[in-house]
Protein backbone atom coordinates (compact mmCIF):
# COMPACT_ATOMS: atom_id res chain seq x y z
CA UNK A 1 0.00 0.00 0.00
CA UNK A 2 1.60 3.25 -1.13
CA UNK A 3 0.77 5.43 1.84
CA UNK A 4 3.63 7.81 0.92
CA UNK A 5 1.42 9.05 -1.91
CA UNK A 6 -1.32 10.06 0.50
CA UNK A 7 -1.47 13.75 1.35
CA UNK A 8 -3.49 15.11 4.24
CA UNK A 9 -5.19 18.44 4.59
CA UNK A 10 -4.03 20.13 7.80
CA UNK A 11 -6.97 22.54 7.67
CA UNK A 12 -9.52 19.76 7.18
CA UNK A 13 -12.29 19.55 9.81
CA UNK A 14 -11.59 15.79 9.87
CA UNK A 15 -8.99 14.98 12.59
CA UNK A 16 -5.64 13.71 11.34
CA UNK A 17 -5.96 10.35 13.15
CA UNK A 18 -9.33 9.78 11.44
CA UNK A 19 -7.86 10.53 8.01
CA UNK A 20 -5.15 7.93 8.70
CA UNK A 21 -7.73 5.46 10.05
CA UNK A 22 -9.84 5.91 6.90
CA UNK A 23 -6.77 5.33 4.69
CA UNK A 24 -5.84 2.12 6.53
CA UNK A 25 -9.47 1.03 6.64
CA UNK A 26 -9.73 1.34 2.86
CA UNK A 27 -6.60 -0.79 2.51
CA UNK A 28 -8.14 -3.50 4.69
CA UNK A 29 -11.51 -3.51 2.95
CA UNK A 30 -10.12 -3.58 -0.57
CA UNK A 31 -7.74 -6.45 0.24
CA UNK A 32 -4.42 -4.64 0.17
CA UNK A 33 -4.07 -5.78 3.78
CA UNK A 34 -5.50 -9.35 3.59
CA UNK A 35 -7.04 -11.20 6.59
CA UNK A 36 -4.52 -12.35 9.21
CA UNK A 37 -1.72 -10.29 7.64
CA UNK A 38 0.41 -8.19 9.96
CA UNK A 39 -0.17 -4.45 9.85
CA UNK A 40 2.86 -2.13 9.70
CA UNK A 41 4.24 -1.39 13.16
CA UNK A 42 3.51 1.88 14.93
CA UNK A 43 6.98 3.18 14.08
CA UNK A 44 6.54 2.16 10.42
CA UNK A 45 3.20 3.95 10.28
CA UNK A 46 4.76 7.01 11.91
CA UNK A 47 7.32 7.14 9.10
CA UNK A 48 4.69 6.51 6.42
CA UNK A 49 2.39 9.29 7.56
CA UNK A 50 4.92 11.58 9.27
CA UNK A 51 2.82 11.93 12.42
CA UNK A 52 3.23 11.29 16.14
CA UNK A 53 2.89 7.85 17.77
CA UNK A 54 -0.18 9.09 19.69
CA UNK A 55 -1.95 9.88 16.41
CA UNK A 56 -1.12 6.41 15.04
CA UNK A 57 -2.36 4.76 18.22
CA UNK A 58 -5.65 6.67 17.98
CA UNK A 59 -6.13 5.46 14.40
CA UNK A 60 -5.28 1.84 15.27
CA UNK A 61 -7.48 1.99 18.36
CA UNK A 62 -10.48 2.95 16.25
CA UNK A 63 -9.77 0.17 13.76
CA UNK A 64 -9.63 -2.31 16.65
CA UNK A 65 -12.96 -1.04 18.03
CA UNK A 66 -14.52 -1.60 14.61
CA UNK A 67 -13.22 -5.18 14.65
CA UNK A 68 -11.05 -4.67 11.58
CA UNK A 69 -7.78 -5.46 13.36
CA UNK A 70 -6.71 -7.32 16.50
CA UNK A 71 -3.56 -7.04 18.59
CA UNK A 72 -1.22 -9.83 19.64
CA UNK A 73 0.99 -8.92 22.60
CA UNK A 74 4.59 -8.55 21.53
CA UNK A 75 3.83 -9.14 17.84
CA UNK A 76 1.77 -6.17 16.71
CA UNK A 77 -1.58 -5.65 14.97
CA UNK A 78 -3.14 -8.07 12.50
CA UNK A 79 -6.08 -7.84 10.10
CA UNK A 80 -9.22 -9.61 11.32
CA UNK A 81 -11.07 -12.22 9.32
CA UNK A 82 -14.24 -10.56 7.96
CA UNK A 83 -17.42 -11.75 9.66
CA UNK A 84 -20.09 -13.54 7.73
CA UNK A 85 -23.48 -11.86 8.09
CA UNK A 86 -26.94 -13.44 8.10
CA UNK A 87 -30.05 -11.33 7.79
CA UNK A 88 -32.65 -12.63 10.23
CA UNK A 89 -35.62 -10.77 8.80
CA UNK A 90 -36.36 -13.88 6.72
CA UNK A 91 -36.45 -17.55 7.71
CA UNK A 92 -33.44 -19.26 6.14
CA UNK A 93 -31.13 -22.12 6.97
CA UNK A 94 -27.44 -21.37 7.55
CA UNK A 95 -26.19 -22.86 4.27
CA UNK A 96 -29.08 -21.31 2.36
CA UNK A 97 -28.16 -17.84 3.61
CA UNK A 98 -24.37 -18.19 3.36
CA UNK A 99 -24.30 -19.85 -0.07
CA UNK A 100 -26.18 -16.90 -1.54
CA UNK A 101 -23.32 -14.69 -0.33
CA UNK A 102 -20.72 -16.87 -2.06
CA UNK A 103 -19.49 -18.74 1.04
CA UNK A 104 -18.60 -22.44 1.04
CA UNK A 105 -20.57 -24.45 3.62
CA UNK A 106 -19.78 -27.98 4.81
CA UNK A 107 -21.43 -29.80 7.71
CA UNK A 108 -19.66 -32.24 9.99
CA UNK A 109 -22.24 -34.62 11.45
CA UNK A 110 -21.35 -35.39 15.07
CA UNK A 111 -24.32 -37.58 15.98
CA UNK A 112 -27.88 -38.53 15.03
CA UNK A 113 -29.79 -40.30 17.79
CA UNK A 114 -33.31 -40.73 19.16
CA UNK A 115 -33.64 -39.65 22.79
CA UNK A 116 -36.42 -39.09 25.36
CA UNK A 117 -37.61 -35.49 25.14
CA UNK A 118 -36.57 -33.32 28.06
CA UNK A 119 -39.18 -31.10 29.68
CA UNK A 120 -38.02 -28.08 27.65
CA UNK A 121 -37.83 -29.89 24.31
CA UNK A 122 -41.21 -31.53 24.91
CA UNK A 123 -42.81 -28.17 25.69
CA UNK A 124 -41.32 -26.55 22.59
CA UNK A 125 -42.27 -29.35 20.19
CA UNK A 126 -45.61 -29.97 21.90
CA UNK A 127 -44.95 -33.66 22.53
CA UNK A 128 -45.23 -35.58 25.84
CA UNK A 129 -42.20 -35.39 28.10
CA UNK A 130 -40.12 -38.52 27.57
CA UNK A 131 -41.48 -39.11 24.05
CA UNK A 132 -38.82 -40.05 21.51
CA UNK A 133 -37.39 -37.17 19.47
CA UNK A 134 -34.51 -37.02 17.00
CA UNK A 135 -31.43 -35.18 18.28
CA UNK A 136 -28.91 -34.12 15.62
CA UNK A 137 -25.53 -32.54 16.36
CA UNK A 138 -23.61 -30.86 13.53
CA UNK A 139 -20.62 -28.55 13.19
CA UNK A 140 -21.10 -25.98 10.43
CA UNK A 141 -17.91 -25.06 8.60
CA UNK A 142 -17.87 -21.70 6.82
CA UNK A 143 -15.12 -21.50 4.19
CA UNK A 144 -13.58 -24.57 5.88
CA UNK A 145 -13.48 -22.91 9.32
CA UNK A 146 -15.72 -24.22 12.15
CA UNK A 147 -18.24 -21.43 12.73
CA UNK A 148 -21.24 -22.88 14.53
CA UNK A 149 -22.36 -25.90 16.51
CA UNK A 150 -25.95 -26.89 15.88
CA UNK A 151 -28.19 -29.09 18.04
CA UNK A 152 -31.51 -29.89 16.38
CA UNK A 153 -34.55 -31.62 17.89
CA UNK A 154 -37.32 -33.01 15.67
CA UNK A 155 -40.43 -35.07 16.39
CA UNK A 156 -39.70 -38.78 15.95
CA UNK A 157 -41.76 -39.08 12.74
CA UNK A 158 -39.77 -36.32 11.02
CA UNK A 159 -36.47 -37.61 12.38
CA UNK A 160 -37.07 -41.03 10.83
CA UNK A 161 -37.59 -39.40 7.43
CA UNK A 162 -34.20 -37.69 7.69
CA UNK A 163 -32.19 -40.72 8.81
CA UNK A 164 -30.86 -41.34 5.28
CA UNK A 165 -30.74 -37.67 4.26
CA UNK A 166 -27.49 -35.98 3.29
CA UNK A 167 -26.91 -34.02 6.50
CA UNK A 168 -23.34 -33.23 5.48
CA UNK A 169 -24.29 -30.93 2.62
CA UNK A 170 -27.93 -29.87 3.06
CA UNK A 171 -29.89 -27.55 5.34
CA UNK A 172 -32.51 -29.22 7.54
CA UNK A 173 -35.04 -26.56 6.48
CA UNK A 174 -34.72 -27.64 2.85
CA UNK A 175 -34.98 -31.30 3.84
CA UNK A 176 -38.16 -30.63 5.81
CA UNK A 177 -39.66 -28.86 2.82
CA UNK A 178 -38.44 -31.06 -0.02
CA UNK A 179 -38.08 -34.50 1.61
CA UNK A 180 -40.88 -34.31 4.17
CA UNK A 181 -43.33 -32.17 2.22
CA UNK A 182 -43.70 -29.54 4.94
CA UNK A 183 -44.45 -25.90 4.33
CA UNK A 184 -42.48 -23.84 6.84
CA UNK A 185 -44.13 -20.73 8.23
CA UNK A 186 -42.24 -18.75 10.87
CA UNK A 187 -39.81 -19.08 13.77
CA UNK A 188 -39.28 -17.66 17.24
CA UNK A 189 -35.68 -16.68 18.02
CA UNK A 190 -33.92 -15.91 21.28
CA UNK A 191 -30.29 -14.72 21.20
CA UNK A 192 -27.81 -14.40 24.07
CA UNK A 193 -24.12 -14.82 24.84
CA UNK A 194 -22.92 -17.69 27.05
CA UNK A 195 -19.55 -19.29 27.91
CA UNK A 196 -18.71 -22.22 25.64
CA UNK A 197 -18.99 -25.62 27.29
CA UNK A 198 -16.17 -28.09 26.69
CA UNK A 199 -17.76 -30.13 23.83
CA UNK A 200 -18.77 -27.01 21.93
CA UNK A 201 -15.40 -25.33 22.55
CA UNK A 202 -13.59 -28.38 21.15
CA UNK A 203 -15.83 -28.52 18.08
CA UNK A 204 -15.39 -24.82 17.35
CA UNK A 205 -11.65 -24.93 18.15
CA UNK A 206 -11.84 -22.26 20.83
CA UNK A 207 -10.95 -22.20 24.51
CA UNK A 208 -13.47 -23.38 27.06
CA UNK A 209 -15.68 -20.61 28.52
CA UNK A 210 -14.93 -18.21 25.65
CA UNK A 211 -18.22 -16.38 24.93
CA UNK A 212 -20.28 -17.75 22.06
CA UNK A 213 -23.51 -16.47 20.60
CA UNK A 214 -26.36 -18.87 21.37
CA UNK A 215 -29.54 -18.79 19.32
CA UNK A 216 -32.62 -20.74 20.37
CA UNK A 217 -34.88 -21.17 17.36
CA UNK A 218 -38.30 -22.80 17.29
CA UNK A 219 -39.64 -23.21 13.76
CA UNK A 220 -43.30 -23.73 12.90
CA UNK A 221 -44.97 -25.08 9.79
CA UNK A 222 -47.54 -23.03 7.88
CA UNK A 223 -50.23 -24.33 10.26
CA UNK A 224 -48.35 -22.91 13.28
CA UNK A 225 -47.35 -26.36 14.52
CA UNK A 226 -43.79 -26.59 15.94
CA UNK A 227 -41.58 -28.90 13.86
CA UNK A 228 -37.96 -27.99 14.64
CA UNK A 229 -36.29 -26.79 17.85
CA UNK A 230 -32.62 -25.83 17.76
CA UNK A 231 -29.73 -24.53 19.81
CA UNK A 232 -27.22 -22.78 17.54
CA UNK A 233 -23.83 -21.76 18.95
CA UNK A 234 -21.79 -19.28 16.89
CA UNK A 235 -18.20 -18.10 17.27
CA UNK A 236 -18.50 -14.39 17.91
CA UNK A 237 -15.39 -13.46 15.92
CA UNK A 238 -16.58 -15.01 12.67
CA UNK A 239 -20.31 -14.38 12.47
CA UNK A 240 -22.97 -11.78 13.09
CA UNK A 241 -26.71 -11.48 12.65
CA UNK A 242 -28.17 -8.39 11.02
CA UNK A 243 -31.67 -7.03 11.42
CA UNK A 244 -33.43 -3.92 10.13
CA UNK A 245 -36.29 -2.62 12.26
CA UNK A 246 -38.87 0.01 11.41
CA UNK A 247 -40.08 2.81 13.63
CA UNK A 248 -43.67 2.15 14.68
CA UNK A 249 -45.69 5.27 14.03
CA UNK A 250 -48.27 6.25 16.64
CA UNK A 251 -51.86 5.78 15.55
CA UNK A 252 -53.70 8.96 14.59
CA UNK A 253 -55.38 10.58 17.54
CA UNK A 254 -52.98 9.00 20.06
CA UNK A 255 -51.57 11.56 22.44
CA UNK A 256 -47.80 12.00 22.31
CA UNK A 257 -45.80 11.55 25.49
The predicted structure's pLDDT at residue 38: 92
The verdict on residue 106 lying in a domain is yes
The verdict on residue 249 lying in a domain is no
For residues 29 and 36, is the Cβ–Cβ distance under 8 A? no
Q: What is the pLDDT along the chain (257 residues), one digit of tens a residue?
A: 444 445 566 667 888 898 999 899 888 877 788 888 999 999 999 988 888 999 999 999 988 877 778 888 888 898 876 655 555 556 655 555 555 555 567 789 999 999 999 999 999 999 999 999 999 999 988 767 888 899 999 999 999 999 988 888 888 888 898 889 999 888 898 889 899 999 999 999 999 999 998 989 999 999 999 999 999 998 876 665 666 566 777 766 555 54
The predicted structure's pLDDT at residue 139: 93
Domain termination site, one of 35, 60, 79: 79
Question: Does 121 lie in the same domain as 61?
Answer: no
Question: Does 91 lie in the same domain as 75?
Answer: no
Q: Of the candidates 168, 194, 193, 163, which has an alpha carbon nearest to the alpha carbon of residue 180?
A: 163
First to last CA, the chain: 54
For residues 134 and 154, is the Cβ–Cβ distance under 8 A? yes
For residues 196 and 211, is the Cβ–Cβ distance under 8 A? yes
Domain termination site, one of 64, 79, 94: 79
The predicted structure's pLDDT at residue 202: 94
Question: Does 118 lie in the same domain as 183?
Answer: yes
Question: Does 185 lie in the same domain as 150?
Answer: yes
Question: Does 112 lie in the same domain as 32?
Answer: no
The predicted structure's pLDDT at residue 50: 87
3-state SS class at 182: coil
Question: Does 222 lie in the same domain as 180?
Answer: yes
Q: Of the candidates 18, 33, 104, 101, which has an alpha carbon nearest to the alpha carbon of residue 65?
A: 18
The predicted structure's pLDDT at residue 99: 53
The predicted structure's pLDDT at residue 203: 93
Distance CA 250, CA 117 (A): 44
Question: Does 162 lie in the same domain as 138?
Answer: yes
* Helix or strand (DSSP H, E) at 185: strand 184-195
* Residue 160 belongs to domain with CATH number: 3.40.1410.10
Question: Does 92 lie in the same domain as 59?
Answer: no
* Residue 57 belongs to domain with CATH number: 1.10.10.10
Alpha helices per DSSP H over the chain: 16-29, 42-49, 53-65, 94-99, 119-125, 156-161, 172-178, 198-204
**Residue 216 sits in which domain range?**
84-242
Distance CA 132, CA 154 (A): 9
Question: Does 181 lie in the same domain as 102?
Answer: yes
Using one digit for the tens of pLDDT, what is the confidence trace for 49-86?
Answer: 888 999 999 999 988 877 778 888 888 898 876 655 55
Using one digit for the tens of pLDDT, what is the confidence trace for 145-157?
Answer: 888 899 999 999 9
3-state SS class at 100: coil
Q: Of the candidates 154, 168, 140, 166, which has an alpha carbon nearest to the alpha carbon of residue 221?
A: 154
Domain termination site, one of 24, 46, 79: 79
For residues 208 and 197, is the Cβ–Cβ distance under 8 A? yes
Amino acid sequence: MQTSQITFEPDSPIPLYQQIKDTLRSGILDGRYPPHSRMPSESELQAMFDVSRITIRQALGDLQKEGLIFKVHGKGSFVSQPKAVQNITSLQGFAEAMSSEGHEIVNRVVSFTFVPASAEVAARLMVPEGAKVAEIHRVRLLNREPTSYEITFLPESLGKKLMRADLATRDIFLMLENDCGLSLGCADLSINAIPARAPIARALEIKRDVPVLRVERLTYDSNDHPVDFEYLYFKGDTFQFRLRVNRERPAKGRRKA
